Amino acid sequence: MTQPPVSNPLLAGLQEDQLAQPCTLVIFGGGGDLSKRKLLPAVYNQSLDGALPASFALLGVALQEMDDQGYRQFAREGIERFSRQPLDEQYWPDFERMLHYESGSFTDPQTYQRLKQRLEEIDQTFGIPGNRVFYLAIPPALIETCVQNLNDAGLVYPVDDAQHFSRVIVEKPIGHDLQSARQVNDVLGRNLDESQIYRIDHYLGKETVQNILVMRFGNSIFEPLWNHKYIEHVQITVAEAEGVGTRAGYYDHAGALRDMVQNHILQLLTLIAMEPPWAMRADVIRDHRQDVLNCLRPITPDIVNQHVVRAQYGPGYHEGFDVPGYRREEGVGPDSTTETFVALKVFIDNWRWAGVPFYIRTGKRMTKRASEIAVHFRGVPPVLFNADPSHPIAQNVLALSIQPNEGLSLGISTKLPGPKVRIFPVKMDFRYGSTFGDQSPEAYERLMLDVMAGDATLFMRRDAVERSWVFIEDILDAWNSSGVRWLPEYTAGSWGPVEAERMIENDGFKWRLL
């Protein structure tokens, strides 16, 4: 198959760096929404950019009855609608021949026997040396059955097999509490070596998130200041404009704390707060991220009301439409106490971050979709230009915009032109779109390529999953024992409840306006 030239400057050198190996990507749940919206468009973009290995094929597995041609049409519809690059009619025939489909139940051992035979046929056709990447885009309840059947069918190679590899990608959520997370991890551990397991968190594949380590450790100006002596506080915001939509059945049993904080936001926190790694190796990076999780100060029942705010969105006028409150959404109980917004004040009890508060907030039906990490540096002494307490100089803030406008900015003070000394805050801005032109690769593109290369740097290890749940479960236990039957509401389209404003203002700070 002819590979098109690499046109995206963000992908230059990616093949050499990643060394993606020939393999077949098997997507369990290949006919589902995640595959249509994210996975199949991601593979198409990888192929169009010339980033896939030379010998590659994709096999979708799902309950729906389809043949290869039907699956190719399913993939085409998803790519036409959701791909970051338009469908290339001249290239499409080359791409679609890589797509295959096998229907069957995930609980039926015969499905896996047919799958094994089909994979052997694909290997011969495409010259693939038996390497497999299994993507489990399935409900958590099916993970145990799927992994056990893969093992029983001989589709998982021993970890010491030097000729072939088997790697399994597991989608979040990994459990709904510490006990269930351990059960899922035990199932995976009985059938796979930890080195074969890739627990995916798509936030870690975003371009700006990957850039955190480069920004911190590739520039001499930041690291000397990256501690409690110079940083006053840090804000992490992950705001969603949409409501629960069609996910009410899942979300009403999860809530914002489980859905966003336990995985996405705590992982962002570890990258911002980790110590400098001595090597850019997966085990080193993940060890350093784990150290941050180990140092999180527990939020115990006696302080939970001072450190955590939860709320639900109420009715409002959002993006031109009247929208209902959370408890009026279809699939949500009228007496639900599931939080759609949560704000936390978190401390990391180690030498670097002693006493520095990390403020976290996330919610649905907020003013707009935006994710940002803002590092607020301590102000200059109250002398010279900062001597007037009624007109203090704005603090320096380093803001990393994760989405939608990927980039970073640094706020500094400068003199306004003119004969008098007047101070004015300005921003030094960098945006991926304006600097590099082309749209950045989607997170799933990078992460799947990493799995093909055997690079686990951006994936969660078992101990990280379970340590995150330990921190979160303290809060959940406090909530469950409180007997609360009603949560405060915030107007849909706002930045959250007044209680969250009070929490941060009590410490003398304010949430940033994004």
Would you name the residues annotated as active-site residues? 264
Element (H, E) at 427: strand 423-431
Type of residue at 514: L
- Quote the Cα angle for 277-279-285, to 5°: 50
Type of residue at 46: Q
Q: Which residues, 6+ apart, have CB-to-CB distance to 258 below 8 Å?
A: 173, 176, 472, 476
Is position 206 annotated in a ligand binding site?
yes
**E strand residue ranges, 163-303:** 166-171, 197-200, 231-239
Tell me the two tokens of residue 88.
Answer: 């290339």
Beta carbons of 399 and 409 less than 8 angstroms apart = yes
Question: In whole angstroms, what is the distance from residue 453 CA to residue 445 CA?
Answer: 13
Is position 364 annotated in a ligand binding site?
yes
DSSP state of 258: I
Length of the chain, in residues: 514
**E strand residue ranges, 164-277:** 166-171, 197-200, 231-239
Is position 252 annotated in a ligand binding site?
no
Beta carbons of 432 and 1 less than 8 angstroms apart = no
Is position 420 annotated in a ligand binding site?
no
Q: Which residues, 6+ apart, have CB-to-CB distance to 496 below 8 Å?
A: 311, 341, 343, 361, 363, 366, 490, 511
**E strand residue ranges, 18-164:** 23-28, 56-62, 99-103, 132-136
Is position 510 annotated in a ligand binding site?
no
How many other CB atoms sit within 10 Å of the CB of residue 177?
A: 15
Is position 116 annotated in a ligand binding site?
no
Look at residues 460, 479, 443 and name the one whose alpha carbon lies nearest to residue 342.
Answer: 479
Binding-site entries for substrate:
202, 206, 240, 259, 364
Binding-site entries for NADP(+):
172
Binding-site entries:
172, 202, 206, 240, 259, 364
